[in-house]
Amino acid sequence: MAQLSTKDLTTLPVGRLGLIPLESCQSLGSKVNDWLVKWRQERNHQELNSFAFEGYQRDSYILEVQTPRFGSGEGKSVITESVRGDDIYLMVDVCNYSMTYRISGFTNLMSPDDHFQDLKRVIGAIGGKARRVNVIMPYLYESRQNKRVGRESLDCATALQELTGMGVENIITFDAHDARVQNATPLHGFETVQPSYQFIKALLRNEEGLHIDNEHFAIISPDEGSMNRAIYLANILGVDMGMYYKRLDYSKRVNGRHPIAAYEFLGPKLEGKDMILIDDMISSGDTVLKIASLLKKRGAGRIYICSTFGLFTDGMDKFDEGFKNGVFDKLLTTNLVYQTPELLEKPYYINCDMSKYIALIIDTLNHDMSVSHLLNPVDRIKRCVNNYMDQYK
């Protein structure tokens, strides 16, 4: 994956780069900053000393921001340095449940709502002084509340309109639950990025003896919602794909929903094939583990569960049991959301670091250049697979 080189510096920066990772995203933001510092210190160009590149090479691009709370639980944001004329990139992890704040003597866990409010507070503290404000929100806030069924609120669309109404120019998210929600803000930038390349790269670095061809490998979608992801990856790799769909019992309702009568499979024969089971998020994990067990009954070989967001809302016990019973072989998720130390220590877990990818996007956008080549990783995936397969020729 090539970042901007000297010869690529054909455009001026939009403004001096400023990176604001909120406290919820400090770890990822620090890694992104390290990549940006490294690349820009290595970059040489005759115009780097001109006023147009003022502040281009710095020891850190992170701006100091505080989001303190009053005893009542109310909050505010304070930016302790100038952002006038800067090209600002805000990073927030709305799923970071490890953070707390005090309210009237009690300790309160920060919810996605709290993180989103802190994001708006920082935008409010910028006060329109920045040249451009961009939001990098890996897990799109309220992304699962993207359509109306009955009399419901459309929270994701409302949130996007709030951000653009406050002056945000670009919103960058990853693997949005439904990318069509960008219709809520049609005159502003909205990019939903797929981590397909990072999954393949991490898998091939950690597993040996895989044969990525139609005779030995397959891509599986656990439901119809993830079918496009599976088709995309299967087409690039040149392998078959399959999917499961839920057959519902519409004669009954349990807890307001029609119960699942059965899981039905659509696809080719799977006997002996290794496979990737891909989805956008793991919440409780019940569905993906159920599908993995059904795949094993069909004679599947090694099963690699890949999910952009590992939320694990019910803990890791069921995954420990599933791994012990041979239901799956490896679990891959990204560091785009909070990861517990317990998760990182699991013998079956592979962490997919997204910091370099985010830094590439920021570096490119800061020069007001197209990111299309970054959003479509077909060539990088094929090159990665070819290099891997060459080891076994």
CA–CA separation, 340 vs 334, rounded Å? 12
So what's the pLDDT on residue 150?
82
CA–CA separation, 249 vs 214, rounded Å? 35
Which tokens in the block code for residue 86?
A: 């800067």
Closest CA to 389 of 194, 200, 235: 200
Contact 81, 62 (CB under 8 A): no
- Angle at 11 (CA atoms; ends 6, 16), nearest 5 degrees: 95
Centroid of chain to Cα 277: 17
Contact 55, 15 (CB under 8 A): no
Query: Among positive and negative, which fits the CA dihedral 32, 59, 79, 166?
Result: negative
The half-sphere exposure of 219 on its side-chain side, counting CA atoms within 13 A, is 25
CA–CA separation, 38 vs 57, rounded Å? 9
So what's the pLDDT on residue 389?
87
Helix (H), strand (E) at residue 5: none
Amino acid at 153: S
Burial of 263 per CB tally in 10 Å (0-12, 13-18, 19+): middle
DSSP H stretches of helix in the chain: 26-42, 112-126, 155-165, 196-206, 227-237, 286-297, 317-324, 341-344, 355-366, 372-375, 378-390
The two beta strands, 100-103 and 106-109, are antiparallel
Contact 32, 359 (CB under 8 A): yes
- Over residues 39-70, the pLDDT tens digits come to 999 888 777 777 778 889 999 999 999 999 99
The two beta strands, 303-310 and 274-282, are parallel
So what's the pLDDT on residue 4?
60
In this prediction the pTM is 0.92
So what's the pLDDT on residue 45?
76
Burial state string for 151-185 with b = 16 or more CB within 10 A and e = fewer than 16: eeebbbbebbebbbeeebbbbbbbbbbebebbebb
Q: Which of the residues in the chain have pLDDT under 50?
A: 1-2, 6-7
So what's the pLDDT on residue 7?
47
